[in-house]
Structure 1
Amino acid sequence: MKRIGIMGGTFDPVHNGHLLLGRQARSEYGLDEIWYMPSHIPPHKKDHRITDVKDRLAMLELALEGIPFFSVSDFEMKREGNTYTAQTLELLKEEYPEDKFYFIIGADSLFQLETWYHPEKVMELTSLLVSGREYDRAGRTLDQQISYLKSVYGAHIQVLHNPEMNVASARIRDMAARGEDIGELVPGAVAAYIREHRLYQESR
């Protein structure tokens, strides 16, 4: 049985925070592999045009090159229509019945989890590894949110104790659109790809 961490998202673009989370999850919880799984059509991302699939996959391949036990998965890319985490986890369980999956998310996602498509299935089918111990939302701490989800859904949730990183894909897109240096926020090969292909320029 393999212990596999799943990093989902649009990765538009992938950044150093994504890599930090993967490394922390693998080292802290003894995972065998980390799969970076970009969404095909994420149903909750309506605030900006999602970069073409081939570009997001290419940036991920560049970012993960040479990192042992990290790989890009096109599992969601191969599906048509909206891609929901609950459905993805069901399909993964069918295809890899012997393996145990850990879904890696940020604290903000844990507070939004009940708004997801069939959140009860998400919490039934996977263990959640959550980053952001000091996160607080609407007067509820991360520890309180974890306790709540455990009591209501029987969720299995553990905290990732990674260093804080003030980096977000939206900020990187804005910086790239203004022609600012993003070299400290993304792997060098990804920054070069964004420049060469003039990604995010249309948002200027």
Structure 2
Amino acid sequence: MDKNNLCLSLSDIESGLCFPSVRKLGILGGSFNPIHYGHLILGRTALKTLEEKENEDNRNKRNSIEAFDSENRSDSFLSRECIVFLPTGVPYHKKNSDLLPFSERSTMLFLALKEENERYRNDSKKNHIGTNRCSIENKETLPFFYSTIEGERSGNSYSYDSALILKKTFPNAEIFLIIGTDEFFTLENWYKIEELGKMLHFLVANRNGVSKERELTERKKFLNNEFGLSCSFLNMKKINYSSSLIREKLENGDSISGILPVSVEKYIMDKNLYH
């Protein structure tokens, strides 16, 4: 993995690649079939939350910024707070009839995240954002990348297994799993959910305000009491499209312009995907 390919592979991890300076790591999993601006907006929203949490931690810890600056400053081209997009290999809970090959979905992720990192850099310079600095020792750092570990492993893709693997590469990072409310209401059925909860914190996106605040609060309390899970909520911008809608539009010959990155749209058209 490097700042040009944006991809953390299983071989990278097995070779001992490590990013000890990353302090907050958000995991955003999905089929990404294809990736679109809804996914990217969710990533931006989660990143902002991680930046705010890190800033708060710094305020609560005396000389924490100086401590960060003095250790491992040159070990990473990744930002202190990062979002890793994790495309599913074999999603055991979904039908695979219209799922593109893993390599195609990974390529689209690369194109989208390359554009997203550039957007973040430009916005950071324009707004003088200091929480997640764009430059450490004159080296630009990246907040968004993806990992192919689920496609490289055999068998079903479980969040527990992926979190366990990522923890090796980000030993000092507080880990957050970004999910939607549909997944939030099924967490007790997840593989090794109590063990997973000990490793990470859940960030729940109430997309389009589907669930009522009271329902979410009661659910959060239940999951904490029964399984020891730590959960908090993301305020999501309203999104009126999905991957399934994009696939439907492509099948019908309708335009998909403006709902996914231009580079991804071009790739889909050039490859004649989803037809």
Same fold (TM over 0.5): yes
> In structure 2, what residue type is equivalent to 1:98?
N
Report the counterpart of residue 136 of structure 1 in structure 2: 211
Q: Percent identity?
A: 33
CA distance in 2 between partners of 1:87 and 1:25 (Å): 22
Q: Show the counterpart of 2:262.
A: 188
Residue 47 of structure 1 and its aligned partner are, at CA, apart by 5.5
Aligned ranges for residues 95-174 of structure 1 at < 5 Å?
95-132=169-206, 134-136=209-211, 141-174=215-248
Matches within 5 A, 1:36-55: 36-46=85-95, 48-55=97-104
TM-superposed deviation, 1:33: 0.7
Alpha-carbon distance in 1 for matches of 2:210, 2:215: 6
CA deviations over 1:68-103 (Å, ceiling 9, x no partner) = 411121122221121111111122224433222111
Matched, 1:26 2:54: no
Unmatched runs of 5 consecutive residues or more in structure 1:
none
Secondary structure of 1:32's counterpart equals strand
Structure 2 counterparts to residues 86-101 of structure 1, below 5 A: 86-101=160-175
Displacement after TM superposition at 1:174 (Å): 1.1
Amino acid at match of 1:33: C
Cα deviation code 1:119-172 (max 9, x no counterpart): 2222222111111173338xx722221121112111111111121212211111
Q: Secondary structure, in 3 states, of the residue corresponding to 2:239?
A: coil
Distance 2:30 2:198 in 1: 20
**Given that residues 202 and 232 in structure 2 are in contact (C-alpha distance below 8 angstroms), is that contact kept between their aligned partners in structure 1?**
yes
Distance in 1 of aligned mates of 2:170 and 2:143: 17
Q: How many residues are aligned here?
A: 200
Instruction: State the alpha-carbon separation in 2 of the partners of residues 164 and 8 from structure 1.
Output: 20
2:113–2:145: 8 Å Cα contact kept in structure 1? yes
> Are residue 175 (structure 1) and residue 249 (structure 2) matched?
yes
- Secondary structure class of the residue paired with 1:58: helix
Q: After TM superposition, which residue ranges in structure 1, 4 or more long, deviate above 3 angstroms? A: none
- Which of the numbers 37, 51, 56 marks the counterpart of 2:105? 56
- How far apart are 1:41 and its partner, in Å? 1.0
For the 8 Å contact 2:50–2:81, the answer to whether it is kept is no
The letter of the residue matching 1:103 is: L
Cα 1:166–1:122, aligned 2, differ >3 Å: closer, same or farther?
A: farther
CA distance in 2, matches of 1:124, 1:15: 31
- In structure 2, C-alpha distance between the alignment counterparts of 1:49 and 1:189, rounded to whole Å: 21
Which of 148, 151, 155 is matched with 1:77 structurally? 151
Whole-Å separation in 2 of the counterparts to 1:54 and 1:47: 15
TM-score by length of 1: 0.90
For 1:59, the aligned partner's letter is M
Partners of 2:146 and 2:50 lie apart in 1 by 20
Separation of aligned partners in 2, 1:145 and 1:55 = 37
- Asked if the contact 1:86/1:122 (under 8 Å) is kept, the reply is yes
Q: CA RMSD in A?
A: 2.0
What secondary structure does 1:81 align onto? coil
